Amino acid sequence: MVKVASQAEVLARFGHALSDPTRARLLLVLRAGAAYPSELVETLGVGRTNLSNHLACLRGCGLVVATPEGRRQRYELADDKLRHALDDLLDVVLAV
């Protein structure tokens, strides 16, 4: 039963991450590869504080990781399987 609960929790976190359009767009951008916050701000057209809040949420959900590079942080998807899951999800949504 514990395994089912943890799987349900993972799906709930994924759903929470996708429930906000900015976070969904952020995941799609990171699907293409790692990026720095300044690049993400420019690409998404959001403020730095707003971006920081969304990145914190995605990190808390375990979907995004930050890698320190000097004084900067580079963000990327936490697992390459997530990239494939997003691709599959897009295929399903586009097929409906």
For position 50, what pLDDT does the model report? 97
Q: Longest C-alpha distance within the chain, in Å? A: 45
CATH of span 2-95: 1.10.10.10
For range 29-40, the mean pLDDT: 97
pTM: 0.85
Question: Would you tell me how many other CB atoms lie within 10 Å of the CB of residue 54?
Answer: 22
For the cut 70, the answer to whether the pLDDT of residue 65 exceeds it is yes
**Confidence band, pLDDT 50/70/90 cuts, at residue 9:** confident
For position 33, what pLDDT does the model report? 96
Bridge partners of 27, per DSSP, are none
**pLDDT top residue among 15 and 46:** 46
